[in-house]
Amino acid sequence: MMKNSFGGYFKRLLKANLRTVIPIAILAMLIFIPITSSWQNHLFFKYTENDLGTIQKYYYGSTRVDAMPQNAIEGFETNFSTAVAVLICLCWVMPMVSFYAFKNRRNIDIFNSLPLSRRKISLAHYLSGLLTVLIPAALAFFAEVFVIIGYGAISLINLGWLAFYFVALMVMGWLYYSMNVFVFNEANHIFDGTAFIIGWNLVFAIIYYFANLPDLFEDLALPWVYIMDILARIEGVIETTTYPLDFIFKFETTVAITLFWIVLGLLSVALFFWRCNKKKSEHAGGVSDSIFGYRLLIPLYIFPQILYSHIGCRYGDITVVAVWFALAFAGYSVCRQSFKFKRSDYWTIGCMAFVTVIIAITNFLRELHH
C-alpha cells in the first residue's frame, strides 16, 4: 500500500510537471535554437596541427567538402547549447515549482497528515522535479543528435565522448538541481527560498570579485557558467574523432574544481534528505532561520564588500564600511521580519566588526611603516 501510494503520487507529480514544462521547454528550444545557432552554425570543418601544436581550423560550410588539405582532420561543429540552456534554466525553476507547496501552511496540513512518510513525499517531489529537469534537456540533446545525423556528420563525431557528454549533462543537471533544491528547502517561505537560490548562485562570484581572490577561483564563481564551460569543452572533443585532448582541457584546474562541485552537489543531496524529515510543520510560511540561509548569506555578501573598502588605508573609506554594517543589520531585520535581532545576528556582526578592526589596524600599521 505504501509503495503504491509513493509510486502513484510520484507519477501524478511527474505528469503534472511534464505537462507544464514540456511545452515551455519546446517553446524555449524554438527560441534558443536560432539564438545558439548564431554562435555555432553546424559547420563542417577541418583542422591541421603544426609542429608547435598550434591548431589551424578551416570552416567549409554546412555541406561536406571532399577536398582535404594534407594531414587535415575533418570535423563537424555541434550545437548542444540548447540542451545546456534548457538544463540550467530548469535547474533554477524546478526546485521552486517542485517544492513551493511546502512553504504554505495549508498544504503542510494536507501533506503531513497523508499516509505517506515525509521523506517519501519529499522524495516524490525531488524525483519528479529532477526528471522534469533531465527529460527536456535529454530531448534537446537527442534533437541535436538527430540534426547531426541529418547533416550526415555522424561518422565525424566521437561517439564515445558523445555518450560521455550525455552522462555529464545528466549528472551536472542532477547535482546543480540538488544544490538549488537544498537551498530552496532551507527557507520556510517561497520568497526566502527564491532569495536563497539567487543568493547562493551569486555568492561565490561576490567573494571572488570583492575579496580579490586569485584567477584560479574564477571557475568557482558562477556554477552555471562552470557547467556551460565544462560541457563546451567536452563538446569540443565530440566534434572530431581525433581532437587533441590537452587542447580542450586545462587538466590542472578542471579536475579539482569539478570535484569541488561534485562534492558540493552530493553534499546538497545528503543534507536535503537529512533535513527534510527534521523540518517542523509549524514553521511553514514563517521566518526562515536556517544557518544555510540569510544567517550565512548576509556575512558572505557583506564581508567581501568591507574587505574591498581597503579599510585603514589612506584611500579607504570608513563611511562605506559603516554603510555595509548598516546593510547587514537591515538584512537581518528583513530576514527576521522585525527589528528584534537574535543573539546569533549580533555575534555574526560582532565577529565581522572585530575582524574589520584587526584588518584596519594591520593596514594602518603597514601604511605607517611604508
Footprint on this chain of other proteins (rule: CB under 8 A): 1-2, 4-5, 8-9, 12-13, 16, 100-101, 104, 106-110, 112-117, 120, 280-282
Nearer to other proteins, 275 or 310 (CB): 275
CB of 14 to other proteins, least distance (A): 12
Q: Name the residue among 20, 66, 76 with its Cα closest to residue 43.
A: 76
HEC letters along 69-117? CCCCEEEECCCCHHHHHHHHHHHHHHHHHHHHHHHCHHHHHHHCCCCCC
Which is closer to other proteins, CB of 288 or CB of 356?
Answer: 288
Cell matching residue 360: 584596519
Positive or negative CA dihedral for 75, 81, 82, 84?
positive
Identify which of residues 17 and 305 has a Cβ nearer to other proteins in the complex: 17
| Residue with cell string 503534472 | 16
CA distances from 176 to 32, 200, 318 (A): 21, 12, 39
Q: In the complex, what is the shortest distance from the CB of residue 80 to other proteins, in angstroms, rounded to a whole number?
A: 34
Closest to other proteins by CB, 7 vs 150, is 7
Q: Min. distance of Cβ 196 from other proteins in angstroms?
A: 20
Please say which residue, 41 or 337, places its beta carbon nearer to other proteins: 337
Shortest distance (Å) from residue 124 CB to other proteins: 10
Cβ closer to other proteins: 109 or 317?
A: 109
The DSSP bridge partners found for residue 49 are 55
Least Å from the CB of residue 86 to other proteins: 24
In whole angstroms, the minimum distance from the beta carbon of 133 to other proteins comes to 19
What are the helix (H) ranges across the chain? Answer: 2-39, 81-99, 105-111, 118-150, 159-185, 190-210, 218-221, 223-238, 245-248, 251-276, 294-308, 318-336, 343-369
Min separation Cβ 7 and other proteins, Å: 9
How many C-beta atoms surround the C-beta of residue 351 within 10 A? 12
Contact by Cβ (8 Å): 162, 194: no
Report, in Å, the least distance between residue 264 CB and other proteins: 30
Q: Which of 102/208 has CB closer to other proteins?
A: 102
Let me know: does 232 contact 146? Beta carbons within 8 Å: no
Given the complex with other proteins, which of 13 and 157 has the nearer CB atom?
13
Q: Which is nearer to other proteins, 101 or 147 (CB)?
A: 101
Least gap, CB of 12 to other proteins (angstroms): 6
Residue 107 or 333 with smaller CB distance to other proteins: 107
Distance CA 337, CA 150 (A): 57
**Which residues are registered as beta bridge partners of 58?**
46
Are 254 and 226 within 8 A, CB to CB?
no
Sheet holding 55-61, edge to edge: 55-61, 44-49, 73-76
Q: How far is the CB of 191 from other proteins (least distance, A)?
A: 16
CA-angle at 330, arms to 326 and 331, nearest 5°: 115
Task: Report residue 6 as a C-alpha cell.
Answer: 509513493
